[in-house]
Amino acid sequence: MKTTWDTRYSKRIDFMKESPIRKLLKFTEMEDVISFAGGLPAPKIFPCQQFDEACSKVLKEKGSIALQYGTTGGYTPLREWIAENNPIGIKVSPDNIIITSGSQQSLDMLGRVFINEGDHILVESPTYLGALQAWNAYGASYIATKIDDDGLIPEEFENSARCGPKFAYVQPNYHNPTGVSLTLERRKRILEIADHYGIPLVEDDPYGQLNFDCEPIDSLLKLDSYYRNCPGNYCGDVIYLGTFSKVLAPGMRMAYVIAPLNVINKINLAKQGADLHSATFNQVVTYEMIKDGFIDEHVQLIRRVYAQRRDIMLDALEKFMPEGCTWTHPKGGLFIWAFLPETIDTTELLAYAEKEKVAFVPGIQFFPGNHAMINAMRLNFSNASPDSIVTGVKRLVAAYNAYLEEKGDH
């Protein structure tokens, strides 16, 4: 049905593209489909009982606060808790923190506050799709910067930095989509280069606490404090994006930004117009959930479960994937990044995978620039059960064979 509205869309609509992951969601929601596509946590270990207790306590004791409008900056006790207990171990004032409705909103707010049409943003290549989606709406361009098994390559970063991006966007830990982490040495080097060229950094860290078999590496934010001779104190050149989605539950949409006070004030202004504030109820309940240390204990459980699933997926890939395929070996997070032989187009492969009732995300979606790898795919290991992971990999191989066979026919 055509309406008067159809002739009236904004120009920025043309910049926006649908996420292929969101598109896949309908397919992956079908029964007996095994999905390696989304970045979904394992629902079996959602702390439902703890949430139930927290909701009940909050509604009995603080209902009139939790159900009411709140300040745009966020619930003060929650901001204070994050200031004191943030996973990066840095001293920061609650005034440097704003609560957002999930990290996607943090990215959107950064876009709104910083990006003019045509601005160049330095991003890893591949990078998190949601960041591209958020910033496309503001007409961003990207300086795609290569990464390898140790994360962002400093020489490449320096080349990109020379182009004068407005800021650089980095995921140092268990990077989405590749699962790789930036080494300590490279982190230090990246900070030096960023400082040299005057490029501020956005550090997106949704998975930092999900380290399986390694000690966590210091965040860029923390390393920056050493670099600037104020060890352990927030210096303001790195904006840090944290979230409770991966350590509690994504369905609560609770995340935060750590940023310089001036930037927080601008985000606050932007957020007033965007949604007034994030749900008070979710903030008060999140605070109730985490204030007595539950999160530490729960993160242990998540690590155990995800590490096992990663191992099972790596084993299955090793066992069943045909020759010529390679993949990353992440030490944490949610994703493995796999390469099929160079002639294979994973976007085409997906149609065959759908017939076999298994889903993944074609790698091409994560590339901001021209040098996309058509033979890459992102595999999520956190969501499917151990049994399903093995079956899913087998289905993937069946899809691959069917694809090859048909391709060979033409």
Among residue numbers 190 through 219, which ones bind a second copy (CB under 8 A)?
198-200
* Interface region with a second copy, contact rule CB under 8 A, candidates 267-275, 289-297, 305-313, 318-326: 267-275
Question: What angle, rounded to 10 degrees, do the helices at 103-114 and 129-136 form?
Answer: 40
Letters for 21-40 (x = contact with a second copy by CB under 8 A, - = none) are -x--xx-----------xxx
Q: Which of residues 327-386 bind a second copy (CB under 8 A)?
A: none
Between residues 109 and 316, which has the closer beta carbon with respect to a second copy? 109
Hey, CA dihedral for 22, 241, 114, 270, is it positive or negative? Answer: positive
Residues in Cβ contact with 409 at an 8 Å cutoff, skipping those fewer than 6 apart = none
Q: Decide if residue 48 touches a second copy (CB under 8 A).
A: yes
What interhelical angle do 280-290 and 294-320 show, nearest 10? 90
In the complex, the smallest distance separating the C-beta of residue 8 from a second copy, rounded to whole angstroms, is 6
CB of 287 to a second copy, least distance (A): 13
Of the candidate spans 67-75, 169-177, 336-344, 372-380, the one that interacts with a second copy by CB under 8 A turns out to be 67-75
Q: Which of 45, 52, 40 is nearest to 289 (CA)?
A: 52
232 dihedral zone (left: phi>0; alpha: psi -120 to 50; beta): left
User: Taking CB under 8 A as the rule, does residue 118 contact a second copy?
Assistant: no
* Strands in 136-274 per DSSP E: 141-148, 151-152, 167-170, 201-204, 238-243, 255-258
**What is the three-state SS of 340-374?**
CCCCCCHHHHHHHHHHCCEECEEHHHHCCCCCCCC
Closest approach of a second copy to the CB of residue 98, in Å: 13
Residue 254 pairs in a beta bridge with none
215 contact partners, CB below 8 Å, separation of at least 6: none
Which of these ranges, 115-123, 146-154, 155-163, 338-346, lies near a second copy under the rule CB under 8 A? 115-123
**Per-position x/- string for 119-138, each x denoting binding to a second copy as judged by CB under 8 A, each - no binding:** x----------x--xx-xxx
8 A C-beta contact, residue 119 and residue 140: yes
Among positions 84-113, residues that touch a second copy (CB under 8 A) are 101-102, 104-105, 108, 112-113
State the minimum distance, in angstroms, from the CB of residue 104 to a second copy. Answer: 5
Question: Measuring CA to CA, how many Å separate 343 from each of 82, 376, 399?
Answer: 47, 11, 15
Q: CB of 268: closest distance to a second copy in angstroms?
A: 8
Kindly state whether residue 236 participates in binding a second copy, applying the rule CB under 8 A. Answer: yes
Figure out which of the listed residues 276, 296, 297, 405 binds a second copy, where binding follows CB under 8 A.
276
Among the listed residues 80, 40, 92, 72, the one whose alpha carbon sits nearest the alpha carbon of residue 240: 92
Cβ proximity to a second copy: between 43 and 341 the closer is: 43
Binders of a second copy among residues 135 to 194 (CB under 8 A) are 136-138, 166-167
